[in-house]
Structure formats: structure tokens, C-alpha cells
């Protein structure tokens, strides 16, 4: 699969502080990758290098085959910063129109309408940014990132200010984007969100990748929960052991009502990977 | 370069919405009214002005030229205030507020962005300075019945001085936060005024060293050098002692002048612009 984002041996130092210490990362076309890690792990720095806001100290990053930061690479990306603001005097339509002109998007009013609908802001089209709630501004930020139909979407904490309904809106939007073949690198602290939508998860710690894989690959088996007339119990084993466990229970005269394969949640995988570290 | 008019439009609209224009227009109106009042009263006092018999000074020319010099300085000051407020947070300030990042990740290039910010600022300040200066000239002309030797060139030179300050403010905005940059540029502007005052002191006491220091300081702050050249041109055709006295502005006289000043100011502007572009291109945001 060709890469929407290919990062090799990426290093970033701020003076004596190493923010990224040799990161390798690959986001395939149409893939949705979640980036996890404690504060200061280097997630935002990685995203900023990918969109050309920060220069790498060593290593290289490519966006759709172009050097990250080049005009051609920036033509392929949509970016939502963790801390961003739009001019308060602009309304939603004007913000999108400004970005359409900067991105040389010929989408016109139909693109703006579609994007505002996608983030459930159609009714707020003429509302000024300063009159919007934080959640609405964040959804407008997501719409702005989608101007010009980017091939790679870099979202840095896109749901931090959203309520549960807003988060679901963004989640559905991400699923729609995946169906359209858009690649997404999603940087978020919301593990449940990452678990729900991402194809792969990458966990950063101290500027290095400490764990990566699909949510299923990362999950550790935690046994088999068996519900019988004698109650519920957890026995050691994996999915392959289920027929044997059920057979043994039936042979011993128990009535089996349910069996569930237990695996660790992404939260447990994450905590195990970062060792409970935070900053 | 298609993004240039987009960014210029954005800068202009931002200035309008932030009511920068409204504040500056209010200050300008206040200045012009006060200037007219000053002209009116000075005109009424012309007949009572006592000029020493051994000094061949024409009282009307002296008073009018001095008022015009004062207007030239006030115009430059207001233009500088406007230029600084339009650019003081253009890079670091806007980056800290999160306004810059969504714009510069677009495929427009940082050089284009900074150039457009400069263009946006001077497209406001240059017409403003020229207009205010010309209105001041008309006020003096109609009230005092005196017109300067040169009208357009001083206005354009003061506009050039404001353009130099605009470029310096943009350069400062790459490194400094909005407040720090605003303070730094105003202090630099003040340093330019000191250069002019130094020149006046040097001439008054006949100190070659102080005059030399003033000349160097004026070249290091070319906006001051341009202002001095503009001041001199108000009475360019007036010679003798009258001419010398008329070259005294409210904050120092006109001691550096000529094409050297103009060419150096242009070169300085280009150097500052190149430094700002280089620094912005390598800055992490």
C-alpha cells in the first residue's frame, strides 16, 4: 500500500530536550491511525513536522511522496492544530472561504455547504466565530481542515472541546472520510475514541514509538468468562480454548448460558506501554 | 503569488474589524483640528512676532515652516503607530494565539505570507501618511498663506520612513511576542529621535564628535534619516540663516539628506525584509 505519510528516523531536538528520538511511522492511503502518548511524548511535534510547521533535526518525513513542508506536500494535507483560533469577526462561511482561496480550492459555495453539513454547522453558517461555543469552533476547525479535499488529514486533539454528541459527529465524519479513501492521523487523549475508529494505533513515549499495531493486535488475552447455572467465573485460556472449556463444563453437568473471550482494553494496553507516566 | 491579495485583504479587513482604523482616524481628526487651531492663532500673532534686526528671518516663513515640520513629525508618529499596530503580532504573536498555523500550512509559502503582510500594512499606512501630510500642508497654506518648497517629496519620504518601521516591526514579530515587539519598535523609533536631537546639540555647541555620532545614528535608523531629509525639503529653496533655522524640527534638525539617504533607506528596507524572511522560514511554529 502506498503511503500518505512516511516518517523515517525522525528526530527533533529543542535545545537540550529531545522531543522525537528516531520515530518511524507509516500511514497508508485510506488508513486511520491513532497517535497516543502522555503529554510531552512528541505527538504534536510529529504532526507539526508532517505539516511543515516544525523542522526536523534529523530523519525525513514524506507526505504522499513529497517532502513534508514543501508546497506540494501542503497541498495534500488538511490540518487542525491543538491550539488554534480563527478571527472572531469572521463568520463560519468566511473562514471556509478564506481557506478555499488559500488552498486554491475551486469547491465554491457547494463545498462550504457540504463541509458545514458534515460538522453539523449548517445553521451557524453566518454566525461569527466570537459568538460560537468552543465546541462549535472546534467543529469549524475540522471543516477548515477538510477544505480542498486533502488526501491526508492531520488532527491534533480534534475533540478536546466537544461534548459527547459533538464527538460522535466527528467520529462519523472520520468513518465517512475513511470510506472516501482519506488517510487520517488522529492525535487524541480519548482512548475510547481511538479504539472505536482507528485501524491502527501508535503509542509514543519520550519521543519514541513504544507500541504499534491494530487494536486487536495490541490487546492481550485476559481469559474466558463462562456463565453457568453455578454463576460466572473466569478461566485461563484464549479463543481457541473455548470449545474445550464449554465441553468440560457440559460434561461436568453444568448448564452453560454464555461464554465471552476477555481481552485487555486499549486503556490497559496504553497504561502498560507508558508505565503510568504522565506530565 | 495568488495568495498575496487574499492575505492583503485579510489584513485590511482584520484592521477594520479590530477598529484600529477608527482609533487612528479619531486621533488624526483630533490632531488636524488642533493643528488648524495652532495655525489660526500663530497667524493672528504674526504681526507681533519680534525678529532681531540682525537676523534676516521672514516671520511668516519661519512660523509656517516650523508648523509644517511639526505636522510632518506628527504625521510620521501617527503612521508609525498605525504600522506597529498592524504588524506587531504578525508572526509570533499570532502563532501564540493560534491564528497563524491554519494559514501557513496552506500551500502559500512563508515568504509570500510575510510579503503579503508587509504589503497589507503599507497599503494602509502609505496612503494614510501621504493624505494626512497633504491635509496639514493645505491647512497651513490656507491659514498662513505659505506653501512649502516641496510638497510631494516630503510626504513620500515620511511614508517611506513608515514603511521602514513596518519592515522592522515585521522582523521583530518573528522573534518577539506582540507586547515586547511593540515596545521594542517604539523604543527604536525613540532612538531615531535621539539621533536628531544629538545633531541639534552638536550643531549648537559646535561639537564635531556629537554631530558625527548623530549622523551615524541617523543612518542606523533610516526612518529618522528620511524624516530629516523630508524636513529639509520643506524649505529647500530658502537659503541663509532663515534656511538654517527652518531646518530645525521639533525633535532635532535636518542634518542628513540627499540621495544617499534615500538609497540607503531602500537598501536597509530590503535587508530587513530579507532578514525577516530568512528568520521566518527557519522558525518552528
Residues B93 and B104: their CA atoms lie apart, in Å, by 14
Q: What angle do CA A150, A270, A5 make, to 5 degrees?
A: 25
User: For chain A, how big is the Rg over CA atoms in Å?
Assistant: 22
B40 touches chain A (CB under 8 A): no
Residues A46 and B278: their CA atoms lie apart, in Å, by 23
Distance of alpha carbon A278 from the chain centroid: 19
Nearest CB partner across the interface for B106, out of A80, A81, A99: A99
Chain A residues with CB under 8 Å of B2 CB are 104
- Other beta carbons within 10 Å of A105: 18
Q: What angle do CA A233, A236, A238 make, to 5 degrees?
A: 115
* 8 A C-beta contact, residue A52 and residue A73: yes
Q: B51: helix, coil or strand?
A: coil
* 8 A C-beta contact, residue B264 and residue B175: no
Q: What angle do CA A196, A21, A25 make, to 5 degrees?
A: 40
Quick one: pLDDT at residue A196? 83
Sheet of A17-28: strand order equals A17-28, A3-14, A58-63, A66-67
Q: Identify the CA nearest to B167 among candidates B216, B115, B211, B131.
A: B115
* 8 A C-beta contact, residue B137 and residue B148: yes
Q: B133: helix, coil or strand?
A: helix
Quick one: pLDDT at residue A269? 80
Chain B residues with CB under 8 Å of A64 CB are none
Please answer yes or no on whether A104 and B2 come within 8 Å at the CB atom: yes
Residues B10 and B104: their CA atoms lie apart, in Å, by 14
pLDDT in tens, A260-270: 888 777 888 88
pLDDT in tens, A180-220: 889 999 998 888 888 888 999 999 998 999 988 888 788 77
Residues B85 and B101: their CA atoms lie apart, in Å, by 20
Chain B residues with CB under 8 Å of A67 CB are none
Residues A208 and A187: their CA atoms lie apart, in Å, by 15
Residue B204 reports pLDDT greater than 80: no
Q: Identify the CA nearest to B164 among candidates B285, B38, B47, B79.
A: B79
Measured between CA atoms, how close is A167 to chain B, in angstroms? Answer: 21
Percent of all residues in chain B with a pLDDT value above 70, rounded to a whole number: 91
pLDDT in tens, B18-30: 777 788 889 999 9
Please answer yes or no on whether B102 and A74 come within 8 Å at the CB atom: no
Give the range among A25-39, A119-133, B85-99, B228-242 with minimum mean pLDDT. Answer: B228-242
Quick one: pLDDT at residue A164? 85
- pLDDT class for B75, splitting at 50, 70, 90? very high
Q: What angle do CA B162, B164, B170 make, to 5 degrees?
A: 105
Query: Taking the model in full, what pTM does it have?
Result: 0.83
Residues B247 and B62: their CA atoms lie apart, in Å, by 10
Please answer yes or no on whether B105 and A98 come within 8 Å at the CB atom: no
Residues A161 and A200: their CA atoms lie apart, in Å, by 24
As its CATH architecture, domain A3-215 has 3-Layer(aba) Sandwich (3.40)
Quick one: pLDDT at residue A218? 81
- pLDDT class for B214, splitting at 50, 70, 90? confident
Quick one: pLDDT at residue A262? 83
A97 to chain B: nearest residue by CA?
Answer: B6
Chain B residues with CB under 8 Å of A53 CB are 101, 104-105, 284-285
Please answer yes or no on whether A85 and B99 come within 8 Å at the CB atom: yes
Residues A156 and A160: their CA atoms lie apart, in Å, by 9
Phi, psi for residue A261 in degrees, rounded to 5? -80, 125
Q: Residue B126: CB partners within 8 Å, gap ≥ 6?
A: B159, B162, B163
Please answer yes or no on whether B101 and A87 come within 8 Å at the CB atom: no
Residues B188 and A35: their CA atoms lie apart, in Å, by 46
**Which residues does chain A have with pLDDT short of 50?**
none
Residues A80 and A154: their CA atoms lie apart, in Å, by 6
Amino acid at each position: 500500500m502506498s503511503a500518505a505519510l512516511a516518517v523515517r528516523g525522525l528526530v527533533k531536538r529543542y535545545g537540550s530536550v529531545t522531543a522525537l528520538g528516531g520515530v518511524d511511522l507509516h500511514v497508508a492511503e485510506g488508513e486511520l491511525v491513532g497517535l497516543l502518548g502522555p503529554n510531552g511524548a512528541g505527538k504534536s511535534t510529529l504532526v507539526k513536522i508532517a505539516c511543515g510547521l516544525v523542522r526536523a533535526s534529523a530523519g525525513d518525513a514524506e507526505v504522499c511522496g513529497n517532502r513534508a513542508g514543501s508546497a506540494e506536500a501542503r497541498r495534500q494535507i488538511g490540518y487542525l492544530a491543538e491550539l488554534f483560533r480563527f478571527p472572531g469577526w469572521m463568520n463560519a462561511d468566511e473562514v471556509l472561504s478564506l481557506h478555499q482561496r488559500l488552498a486554491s480550492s475551486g469547491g465554491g459555495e457547494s463545498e462550504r455547504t457540504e463541509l458545514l453539513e458534515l460538522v453539523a454547522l449548517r445553521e451557524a453558517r453566518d454566525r461569527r466565530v466570537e459568538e460560537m461555543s468552543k465546541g462549535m469552533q472546534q467543529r469549524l476547525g475540522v471543516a477548515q481542515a477538510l477544505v480542498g479535499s486533502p488526501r491526508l488529514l492531520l488532527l491534533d486533539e480534534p475533540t478536546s472541546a466537544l461534548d459527547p454528541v459533538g464527538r460522535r459527529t466527528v467520529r462519523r465524519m472520520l468513518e465517512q472520510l475513511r470510506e472516501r479513501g482519506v488517510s487520517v492521523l488522529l492525535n487524541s487523549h480519548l482512548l475510547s475514541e481511538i479504539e472505536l475508529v482507528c485501524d491502527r494505533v501508535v503509542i509514543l513515549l519520550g519521543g519514541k514509538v513504544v507500541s504499534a499495531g491494530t487494536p486487536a493486535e495490541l490487546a492481550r488475552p485476559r481469559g474466558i468468562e463462562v456463565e453457568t447455572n453455578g454463576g460466572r467465573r473466569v478461566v485461563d485460556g484464549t479463543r481457541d480454548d473455548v470449545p474445550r472449556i464449554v465441553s468440560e463444563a457440559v460434561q461436568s453437568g453444568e448448564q452453560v448460558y454464555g461464554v465471552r473471550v476477555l481481552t485487555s482494553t486499549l486503556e490497559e494496553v496504553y497504561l502498560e506501554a507508558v508505565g503510568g507516566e504522565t506530565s | 503569488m495568488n495568495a498575496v491579495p487574499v492575505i492583503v485583504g485579510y489584513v485590511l479587513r482584520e484592521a477594520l474589524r479590530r477598529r484600529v482604523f477608527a482609533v487612528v482616524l479619531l486621533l488624526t481628526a483630533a490632531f488636524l483640528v488642533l493643528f488648524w487651531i495652532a495655525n489660526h492663532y500663530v497667524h493672528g500673532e504674526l504681526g507681533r512676532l519680534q525678529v532681531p534686526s540682525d537676523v534676516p528671518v521672514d516671520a511668516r516663513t519661519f512660523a509656517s515652516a516650523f508648523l509644517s515640520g511639526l505636522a510632518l513629525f506628527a504625521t510620521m508618529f501617527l503612521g508609525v503607530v498605525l504600522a506597529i499596530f498592524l504588524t506587531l503580532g504578525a508572526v509570533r504573536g499570532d502563532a501564540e494565539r493560534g491564528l497563524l498555523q491554519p494559514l501557513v500550512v496552506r500551500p502559500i509559502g512563508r515568504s509570500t505570507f510575510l510579503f503579503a503582510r508587509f504589503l497589507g500594512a503599507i497599503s494602509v499606512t502609505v496612503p494614510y501618511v501621504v493624505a494626512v501630510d497633504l491635509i496639514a500642508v493645505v491647512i497651513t497654506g490656507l491659514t498662513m498663506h505659505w506653501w512649502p518648497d516641496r510638497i510631494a517629496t516630503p510626504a513620500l519620504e515620511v511614508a517611506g520612513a513608515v514603511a521602514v518601521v513596518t519592515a522592522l516591526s515585521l522582523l521583530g514579530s518573528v522573534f518577539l511576542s506582540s507586547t515586547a515587539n511593540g515596545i521594542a519598535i517604539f523604543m527604536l523609533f525613540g532612538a531615531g529621535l535621539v539621533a536628531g536631537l544629538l545633531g541639534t546639540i552638536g550643531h549648537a555647541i559646535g561639537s564635531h564628535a556629537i554631530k558625527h555620532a548623530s549622523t551615524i545614528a541617523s543612518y542606523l535608523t533610516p526612518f529618522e534619516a528620511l524624516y530629516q531629509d523630508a524636513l529639509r525639503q520643506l524649505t529647500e529653496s530658502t537659503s541663509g540663516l532663515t534656511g538654517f533655522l527652518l531646518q530645525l524640527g521639533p525633535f532635532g534638525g535636518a542634518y542628513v539628506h540627499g540621495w544617499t539617504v534615500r538609497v540607503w533607506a531602500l537598501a536597509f528596507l530590503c535587508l530587513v525584509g530579507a532578514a525577516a524572511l530568512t528568520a521566518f522560514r527557519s522558525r518552528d511554529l
